[in-house]
Every structure is written in structure tokens, then in C-alpha cells.
Amino acid sequence: TYMRGLGRSILQGAMLGFGDEAAAGIATGLAGVTGNLPGNSVAEKFSNIPSVYKDIKGAEQEDQAAFVEENPTTAFVAELGGGLVTGGLAGGAKMAGAKTLGQVAKTGAATGAKLGAVYGAGTAETGDTLEESAINMAVGGAKGGLIGAATGGIVTPTLVGGARVIGAAGRN
């Protein structure tokens, strides 16, 4: 549904690309707690946890891909909004101590690189093997870190500057 896709997009941004993993982990855990894992014995149920997680994660990714295809702008804005909340929480205190726009840009670039690397890893496609997954996450993390450093140094000062202008206008 539309609302579920919107929520997934916000969660994906807020969790730096790990929203589908988080949702699958929670759903798998709930299946275990409620006794809804396949298998007759406890050992069978326990051994089925990885396949249940993989199936749920795959379904989450398929549903989200369909939402993004049908609502690309909404999905982008929602994911960006979720990410801005996380980024603001991660870098807000550091930004508050910046005295100049240059310091804000430097802090924004450093924070953007760190968060971008995590986001890049979170949105990387996993491979068929652990080695392929690790390589894909490393490449995604490197790309995200570079993009985050570049855009964090531009976007963050713009947001902070805009907030200062709005705050000053509100005091007058």
C-alpha cells in the first residue's frame, strides 16, 4: 500500500539504508517468538531462521522497489527526510559549536562522509556469498562516503545558514 511504502522509505533513510534489514530482522524475531517459524522441532525452527529472514527481506525489497517505481518523487523525498533526521541528530551538536561557515562546511563534510559511507553500505546489493556481500558493501560505502563528504560540505551549511536566517527573522 501507499502508506506502507511511504513508511518504508522514511525508515530506509532514517536507518541509513538498513531499513529493509531491520524490518526483516524484527519480523523474523516476531515469527520466532510467536512460534511461526517452519519446522517441527525447536532445532528445525532454529535452523530455518536464516531462510525466513532472507525471504522476508526479499519481500520487503520487492515491495519497496514497486513503491519507488510507482512513486519515485515521494519515495526520494521520504527517504531524504528520514536521512536528514538521522544526519541532523548525528551532526547537530557538532554544528552548534561551529563559529564560521567554513567550520560548518568542514564539519558537514566529515559527518556527511561517515554517514554516507554507512548509507552506501546499507543500500549495497548483497551477493550470493559473504565475500561478494562484503565487496559490494565496501564499494557502496566508499561511494557513499565520497558523495556524503561532497554534499555534506554543501548541503549542511545551506541548511544551517537557512535556519539561522529564519531564526533571526523570528526574533525581529
Q: How far is CA 30 from CA 24, 34, 44, 48, 49, in A?
A: 10, 6, 17, 14, 11
pLDDT tens-digit readout, 9-63: 999 988 888 888 889 889 999 998 998 999 989 899 989 898 898 899 889 989 9
- Coil vs helix vs strand at 28: helix
8 A C-beta contact, residue 105 and residue 157? yes
Q: What is the pLDDT of residues 61-104, one digit of tens each?
A: 899 999 999 999 999 889 888 887 777 776 666 667 777 777 77
Q: Provide the 3-class DSSP secondary structure of residue 162.
A: helix
- The rounded distance, in Å, linking the Cα atoms of 6 and 83 is 14
Calculate the dihedral angle through the C-alpha atoms of 38, 41, 43, 44, rounding to the nearest 10 degrees.
-30
Is pLDDT at 161 greater than 60 in this prediction? no
User: What is residue 156's predicted lDDT score, i.e. its pLDDT?
Assistant: 55
H/E run at residue 146: helix 130-171
Q: How many CB atoms lie within 10 A of CB 81?
A: 13
Residue-level pLDDT at 5: 95
More confident residue, 29 or 106: 29
Rounded to the nearest 5°, which phi and psi values hold at 62? -65, -45
Angle (CA) 63-5-91 rounded to 5° is 115
The answer to pTM > 0.85 is: no
Mean pLDDT of the chain: 78
CA separation for the pair 19, 5 (Å, rounded): 12
Q: What is the pLDDT of residue 121?
A: 74
Instruction: Tell me if residue 40 falls in helix, strand or coil.
Output: coil
The Cα–Cα gap between 166 and 78 comes to 23
Note the pLDDT tens digit of each residue in 126-137: 665 657 767 767
